[in-house]
Structure 1
Amino acid sequence: MKAHIPASKRLTRREKTTVKEYDDSVQNDNFMRYVKLSIVALHERFGFGHDRTADFLGDMMRLADEAAKDEIFWEHIDKVVVGELKLELPRENYKELDK
């Protein structure tokens, strides 16, 4: 059953744009926080310095761009992470990602 939303309660195009911009901003902030956590872990555990962490950051940004463009990107990532590296992480639900 679908709920009916009265026209007076629907978001305007401008409001939808504002919500999307806010959501994108929050996602970007969270992404950068996890990248920073990864950089600190690489520095503390493996002694990565400026050059190696800068290379890592560049790789992360490149992969993030690829993820946005490649429809089967996460299948490739799961093949490496779960298949080759044998890390016990859940695979992505590819059918849900396509929506």
Structure 2
Amino acid sequence: MKARIPPRQLMPATSKKVVQSYIDEKEEEILRRCMKLAFFALNHRFSFGAVRLGAVYDEVTALKKEAKNDPIFWEHLDRVICDEIGLDMPREDYAKFEE
């Protein structure tokens, strides 16, 4: 006999909050490390100083907040990065965002 558990009841709300908190924490950690790599490269390769790097950090922070609220944010970003700017980067798999 198989029991069917509705998807909403697979994990209690309190557990979902704990898991989401952990994911958010790891996301912040990864972003911070990536930003440090980018800042190091921008400073050494192009002589970006603290003021310019701070402006980049502020812009990335604002974009991160926007990405949470805009379901097609990454599609727009890919269009600018790949099509308008011409940077050769892999595009996001938009189907994954709908899961």
- State the one-letter code of the partner of 1:51: V
Unmatched tracts of structure 2, length 5 or more = none
Unmatched tracts of structure 1, length 5 or more = none
Please state if 1:70 is matched with 2:45. Answer: no
Between 58-67 and 89-98, the greater mean CA deviation after superposition? 89-98
Partner of 1:89: 89
Separation in structure 1 between the aligned mates of residue 21 and residue 62 of structure 2, nearest angstrom: 22
Separation in structure 1 between the aligned mates of residue 39 and residue 66 of structure 2, nearest angstrom: 20
> Once superposed, what is the RMSD of the aligned Cα atoms?
2.2
Stretches (4+) displaced over 6 A: 2-5
Task: Report sequence identity in percent.
Answer: 36
Larger relative contact order (CA 8 Å, sep ≥ 6) = 1
Deviation at 1:71, TM superposition (A): 1.4
Report Cα offsets for 1:7-65 as digits up to 9, x if no partner.
Answer: xxx75543443232222211110111111111111111110011101101001101111
Partner of 2:47: 47
Q: Output the TM-score relative to the length of structure 2.
A: 0.79
Aligned residue runs from structure 1 range 3-22, under 5 A = 12-22=12-22
Separation in structure 1 between the aligned mates of residue 68 and residue 15 of structure 2, nearest angstrom: 24
